């Protein structure tokens, strides 16, 4: 099969010929139809410090994908069938861990990532545990199925606090930030403000999350925008999606007393924090990792059924052998989600 892999400890990925993987007794084999490029994949492409520490070489990358089941392991007892349309929860856990036995699957400290430290979905076929398979409703196309993983990050972050009738700040208009803003709108927030310094993505956010007030913080003062919107005290909830120390400070500065701050964005290095301001404002801060298995998946499919449209977020759909173009689009910041089409035949 064709696959995209990190073959050497250096920048880039290679399109290779690889054996079709064999599913174990508790696994399924999936024919990949669509796979999308994630920020994690960019880190792996760049071979940055995080990748060097966490990604073994060689490694087929990619963890956001959707396709059809083509083989089922002999011990699988779920009601799955050949030809079924599926997506996959990319965090593979130890079902015997203390966290899993307590029902907190997403908090297993020994979690392994498909496409990070086990073979991934930038390929014609991928193996995944049957436990991780998510059945796709017929009205969810493969393109949307391939971006459910990051959509789950957005939903999980937005779930941390009650958003109904609240004023919500979302910092970071990457794809997950845009989806979080859309979720906040769908959840009944009174006001949703989305900040970034990338005009392309702020404009795209208007299509992904109609009605959201976007702010380029290089050009507008957030406090002026708050006055414009009638926020006399501050935001009730902030969802920090960028990992930017400046954005984190904006969240702390503009939250009300007793406000809630959910953190998904990971800073590139340790940052200084004014803990005194956090303490004196009695803020509640929650770190967010991955998705809840499988409550978040049920909620995100419910949001799609209720009419939340993620289609505008997909700005590039390319044949898999044009992957370099897709990665370059992501690296420039002039894109939403980039989806690679694996449902095609290419000459060797």
Annotated catalytic residues are 40, 43
Q: How far apart are CA 325 and CA 151, in angstroms?
A: 23
Q: How far apart are CA 213 and CA 340, in angstroms?
A: 31
DSSP H helical ranges for the chain: 39-46, 49-54, 98-101, 142-145, 148-158, 175-186, 199-208, 222-229, 245-254, 275-280, 295-305, 323-332
Residue-wise burial string across 80-104, b where 16 or more C-beta atoms lie within 10 A, e elsewhere = eeeebbbbbbbbbbeeebebbeeee
Nearest partner of 242 among 149, 172, 170, 292, judged by Cα:
172
Evaluate whether 28 touches 130 at the Cβ level (below 8 Å).
yes
DSSP 50-83: HHHHH--SSEE---EEEEEEEEE-TT--SS--TT
């Amino acid at each position: 099969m064709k696959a995209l892999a990190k073959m050497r400890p250096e920048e880039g990925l290679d399109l290779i010929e690889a054996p079709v993987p064999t599913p174990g007794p508790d696994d399924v084999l999936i024919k990949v139809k669509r796979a999308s490029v994630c920020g994690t994949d960019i880190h792996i492409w760049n071979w940055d410090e995080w990748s060097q520490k966490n990604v073994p070489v060689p490694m087929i990358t990619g963890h956001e994908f959707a396709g059809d089941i083509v083989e089922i392991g002999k011990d699988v007892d779920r009601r799955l069938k050949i030809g079924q349309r599926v997506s996959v929860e990319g965090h593979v856990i130890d079902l015997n861990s203390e966290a899993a036995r307590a029902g907190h699957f997403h908090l297993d400290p020994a979690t392994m990532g498909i496409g990070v430290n086990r073979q991934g979905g930038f390929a014609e076929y991928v193996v995944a545990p049957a436990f991780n398979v998510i059945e796709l409703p017929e009205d969810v196309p493969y393109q949307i199925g391939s971006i459910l993983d990051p959509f789950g990050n957005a939903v999980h972050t937005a779930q941390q606090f009650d958003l109904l009738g609240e004023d919500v700040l979302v910092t970071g208009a990457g794809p997950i930030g845009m989806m979080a803003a859309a979720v906040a709108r769908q959840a009944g927030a009174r006001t949703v403000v989305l900040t970034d310094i990338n005009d392309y993505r702020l404009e795209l956010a208007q299509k992904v999350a109609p009605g959201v007030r976007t702010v380029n913080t290089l050009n507008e003062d957030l406090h002026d925008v708050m006055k414009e919107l009638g926020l006399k005290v501050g935001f009730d909830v902030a969802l920090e999606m960028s990992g930017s120390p400046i954005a984190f400070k904006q969240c702390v500065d503009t939250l009300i007393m007793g406000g809630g701050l959910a953190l998904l964005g990971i800073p590139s290095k340790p940052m200084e924090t004014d803990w005194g301001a956090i303490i004196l404002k009695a803020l509640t801060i929650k770190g967010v990792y991955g998705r809840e298995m499988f409550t978040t998946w049920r909620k995100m499919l419910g949001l799609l059924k209720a009419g939340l449209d993620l289609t505008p977020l997909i700005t590039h759909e390319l044949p898999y052998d044009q992957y370099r173009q897709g990665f370059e689009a992501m690296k420039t910041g002039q894109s939403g989600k980039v989806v690679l089409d694996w449902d095609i035949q290419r000459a060797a």
